[in-house]
Amino acid sequence: MTKPLRTTLVALLATAAALASGLPAHAEPGNHAMGSQIAKHEGRSARPATFDAAASVPGMDVSSWQGNVDWARAWANGARFAYVKATESTTYRNPYFNQQYGGSYNVGMIRGAYHFAAPNLTSGATQANYFVDNGGGWSPDGKTLPGLLDIEYNPYGGDTCYGIGQRAMVTWISDFVNTYRSRTGRWPVIYTATNWWNQCTGNLADYSQVSPLFIANYSGSPGPLPQRWLYHTIWQHADSGVFPGDQDLFNGTYDRLKVLATNRD
């Protein structure tokens, strides 16, 4: 994805600071986006995504890497929903959040916010509260999707599962999910990759009855899903394409997308 100059300079300075301090590059929270680790760990397929256009809704997800997004152009190209990064851990807030979150809404998109998890740093409840307090809430306005928990491969260096065992990981996720629910009245969407989920949670808990699944898979199809989930709600099928940021598909008609935005759990 194209990175704005300002954001690139910030990333370079952060990397230099990390190296000077002895930390691995990208060890500090901030510059990680949904799917930023998927291609690194799982690769990409040359096969285009296959889907039923009549039963799908195109969308996108963005972070600070996209800067100020041309939402009118994204809408003209067919995007009808978006997820926007709000926070990471408890120390980072996307500096472009207001433009991205408000801009997508203003052109008519249904949009939601997401949190990039750092389960090795603070508790799930602490991060859920930080997320809600910094743009990750929900509104019954028919245009706001429930907040999203992005839990994926560890980008900070070290163990894939953040050095956390499966039971501890499930406890962390449950802590986040339940806190978000108590704060907003909605269960959060969970974004993940099947291989990571199976390895790092061991499928020790069942979230399929409460949290919609946003699956990441760049192989041309959603592929096998994490155990417990019988279907996916949204599929991130590519990390670049006609829209800025990642390319997503809602698994259903536009009317069903509106239900996700408006229905209380």
Catalytic residue flag (residue 255): no
Report the relative pairing of strands 234-238 and 246-251 from DSSP bridges: antiparallel
- Output DSSP code: residue 134: I
Of 193, 213, 189, 212, the residue nearest 201 (C-alpha): 193
Half-sphere exposure of 228 (CA within 13 A, CB side): 16
- Six token digits for residue 49: 């995504």
Placement of tokens 């603070």 in the chain: 122
* 3-class state of residue 83 by DSSP: strand
- Total number of residues shown for the chain: 265
Catalytic residue flag (residue 152): yes
CA dihedral (149, 126, 195, 243) in degrees, to 10, reads 30
Catalytic residue flag (residue 42): no
- Residue of 28, 42, 61, 246 marked active site: 61
- Cross-strand partners of 84: 62, 113
- Output DSSP code: residue 88: E
Give 193's contacts (C-beta < 8 A, 6+ positions apart).
38, 41, 42, 152, 153, 215, 216, 217
Of 209, 196, 242, the residue nearest 60 (C-alpha): 242
Contact 111, 144 (CB under 8 A): yes
Of 188, 180, 179, the residue nearest 210 (C-alpha): 188
- Residue of 28, 88, 152, 248 marked active site: 152
- Residue of 42, 150, 246, 248 marked active site: 150
- Six token digits for residue 220: 């041309």
Active-site amino acid positions: 61, 150, 152
